[in-house]
Amino acid sequence: MKRIPIFAALTVSFFAITAQAQQCELTDTVLACWMRFNPAAGTDVTQPTPTENATQQVVAAANTGISSFISPSGSAVQDFLSLLSASLESSSLSTNGQALTFDYNPPIQILGMDHALKLQAVFVEPPLNDQLTAHFSGNTAALEPFDKALTNTDDVAMSATFQPTSERWGRSIVPHRPMFRLMLNSLVPNRNQWLVALATAVANVPNLTSNQTFDSLSSDQQLSAMQAIETAAKSQQSFLRAVGGFAEKFALLLNNQPQLYATALYDVRKNVVGPNEWTAKFTYEIGANNLNAFRRRFGTVCNETSLASTATAAQCAHSLQTFAGSAATADDRLAISLEYHRTNQRWIKGDPNLGGFEFGYPRAHEFAFELTYGQTLRGTATSPNNGRIDLSFRYEDVRNPSDATKNVRSRAIGSITYTQKINDSFSFPVSLIYANHAANLGTVDKKLNTHFGLLYKLPK
């Protein structure tokens, strides 16, 4: 019987405290009153600000998984926003599975488009070619000089990737800024009145500063000043809430925008490692629910012309929030790639360590198709310490013009990769990879591999 009054008292106290937090007191400073409704954000700048040292430009990063264009653990989303990143992959079941990837997204404009270029270099731990190891099998002493002479630069894949950025393509807010701005400002169109009222109230109290308590003012000014500050603080709170509700949904749709990019890749290998190889690759990434889908559905009402009307823009902002509402956590992404590879002809002979053995690589052509699906499993795409999963399937068709018996028409590789973001800089990917044929291409040389990695996104 005694529990009910205690519970009731606690409930009343809770609501009393909550109510107290939502109104200013005479003992509050002006700033404390304001922060009851509008908490502080941001931290002090320890370095000289860009205004002070005239520097600018920062870069963006999200959990985008492994960026390597040659890794079987590649992600469904390529990051074109980070300036520089590096990743290390290592196979636990093969001795030659390590690869170090460097990404550079130069902050330059191409054809009027910002951040459209990605340069990448992948350093693969080089294995000796199968023909050589097969010839000297059982004679490790003969292989030793070749093995010892290998360095980390004997198998390097260099690539350049171009990604057009526009209203339809890419995850940058820049092409969408006019729409974003019109909708955002339509939500709370009349801010001037209460901002001027705030400034006038402050001006009417001589020497009032933000760290002054209301009860330190003259008695005839205390209540009116507090009420004026509180009214303005509530107006700012309403404004930020309205804007925040919209901006959050807009960012979710923006992050799901498709990306289309073309890659030219040249793999340089030492002669005892393998042939040099050219690759052309086209990739299309698409998110499940994005701004393009919103435009398709509401474009007749919500276009640049109609958004000039504040009422229409407000209606469209609400439509966008409703549209994105069901996809608050969905960031499913599918990447489809088509590749063409050409292997250069090469013949190796005359090395005294070969003991008269000759071998080489014919010119070969390969077509490959890759499908990668990924999504954030833990948290949301932009939340800290999130985790994402990527499922990949790759089909390769290798043609040997000089010996059709060496054609490999059905080499398939499947992988599942989980990338856990540890902090703002580091991510930890783990992959399970299956290939139906062992082959000397790439870093997959066993039917079943487990890859562990470390991904580091470097600050500028």
Partner 1 sequence: MACDPLMIWRPVPDKSFFQASVAGDENVFDVQLDVAFAGKPPQTIPHEMLVPGPAKIPINAGDHGAFDLLLNITGEPLPGTPVVVDLRIVDAAGKIVQVIDGKGGTVPAQCASQFTQPTGANPVGIVVVAVA
Interaction between residue 177 and partner 1 (CB under 8 A): yes
Interaction between residue 61 and partner 1 (CB under 8 A): yes
State the minimum distance, in angstroms, from the CB of residue 31 to partner 1. 6
Interacting residues with partner 1 between 350 and 389 (CB under 8 A):
382, 384
State the minimum distance, in angstroms, from the CB of residue 103 to partner 1. 12
State the minimum distance, in angstroms, from the CB of residue 72 to partner 1. 27
Interaction between residue 184 and partner 1 (CB under 8 A): yes
State the minimum distance, in angstroms, from the CB of residue 201 to partner 1. 9
Residues 6+ apart with CB under 8 A from 346: 271, 275, 276, 360, 361
DSSP states along 62-102: ----B--SS-TTB-SS---S-SEEEEEEEESS-TT--EEEE
Query: What are the beta bridge partners of residue 100?
Result: 88, 123
Interaction between residue 218 and partner 1 (CB under 8 A): no
43 or 305: CB nearest partner 1? 43
Residue 133 to residues 50, 275, 284, 358: CA-CA distances in angstroms?
57, 16, 39, 13
Interaction between residue 211 and partner 1 (CB under 8 A): yes
Distance CA 42, CA 36 (A): 17
State the minimum distance, in angstroms, from the CB of residue 77 to partner 1. 12
State the minimum distance, in angstroms, from the CB of residue 292 to partner 1. 16
Q: Is-contact 415 448, C-beta < 8 A?
A: no
Interaction between residue 192 and partner 1 (CB under 8 A): yes
Interaction between residue 195 and partner 1 (CB under 8 A): yes
Question: Near partner 1 by CB under 8 A, which window of 14-22, 70-78, 358-366, 421-429?
Answer: 421-429
Interaction between residue 325 and partner 1 (CB under 8 A): no
Question: Near partner 1 by CB under 8 A, which window of 156-164, 198-206, 271-279, 391-399?
Answer: 198-206
Residue 326 to residues 92, 249, 290, 319: CA-CA distances in angstroms?
40, 10, 12, 12
Distance CA 228, CA 233 (A): 9
Interacting residues with partner 1 between 279 and 318 (CB under 8 A):
none
State the minimum distance, in angstroms, from the CB of residue 394 to partner 1. 29
Q: In the stretch 14-53, what mask flags binding to partner 1 with x, by CB under 8 A?
A: ----------------xx--xx--xxxxxxxx---xxxx-
Residues 6+ apart with CB under 8 A from 119: 103, 104, 105, 106, 158, 159, 160, 161
Question: Near partner 1 by CB under 8 A, which window of 4-12, 170-178, 299-307, 402-410?
Answer: 170-178
State the minimum distance, in angstroms, from the CB of residue 425 to partner 1. 5
- The tokens describing 272, both together, are 């005892």
Nearest to 380 by CA among 416, 332, 318, 428: 332
Query: What are the beta bridge partners of residue 278?
Result: 266, 342
- Residue identified by tokens 């499940």 is 288
Interacting residues with partner 1 between 103 and 142 (CB under 8 A):
107, 114-115
As a whole number of angstroms, the longest Cα–Cα distance in the chain is: 106
Type of residue found at 171:
R
Say how many CA atoms lie within 13 Å of 438 toward its Cβ: 7
State the minimum distance, in angstroms, from the CB of residue 413 to partner 1. 31
Binding partner 1 (rule: CB under 8 A), the pick from 13, 20, 23, 55 is 55
State the minimum distance, in angstroms, from the CB of residue 167 to partner 1. 14
- The tokens describing 445, both together, are 């040389």
Task: Determine the Cα angle at 249 with ends 243 and 250, to 5°.
Answer: 80
State the minimum distance, in angstroms, from the CB of residue 359 to partner 1. 46
Please give the DSSP secondary-structure letter assigned to residue 137: T
69 or 246: CB nearest partner 1? 246
State the minimum distance, in angstroms, from the CB of residue 30 to partner 1. 7
Task: Determine the Cα angle at 378 with ends 373 and 381, to 5°.
Answer: 65
- The tokens describing 33, both together, are 């009153």
Interaction between residue 200 and partner 1 (CB under 8 A): yes
Nearest to 164 by CA among 289, 288, 284, 336: 284
CA 155, distance to chain mean position in Å, is 28
Q: In the stretch 74-103, what mask flags binding to partner 1 with x, by CB under 8 A?
A: -------xxx--------------------
Q: In the stretch 243-282, what mask flags binding to partner 1 with x, by CB under 8 A?
A: xxx-xx-xx--xx---------------------------
Interaction between residue 198 and partner 1 (CB under 8 A): yes
Positive or negative, the Cα torsion across 90, 92, 93, 94? positive
First to last CA, the chain: 65
How many amino acids of this chain bind partner 1 (CB under 8 A)?
A: 78
Binding partner 1 (rule: CB under 8 A), the pick from 87, 172, 256, 337 is 172
Binding partner 1 (rule: CB under 8 A), the pick from 18, 95, 207, 405 is 207
Interaction between residue 203 and partner 1 (CB under 8 A): yes
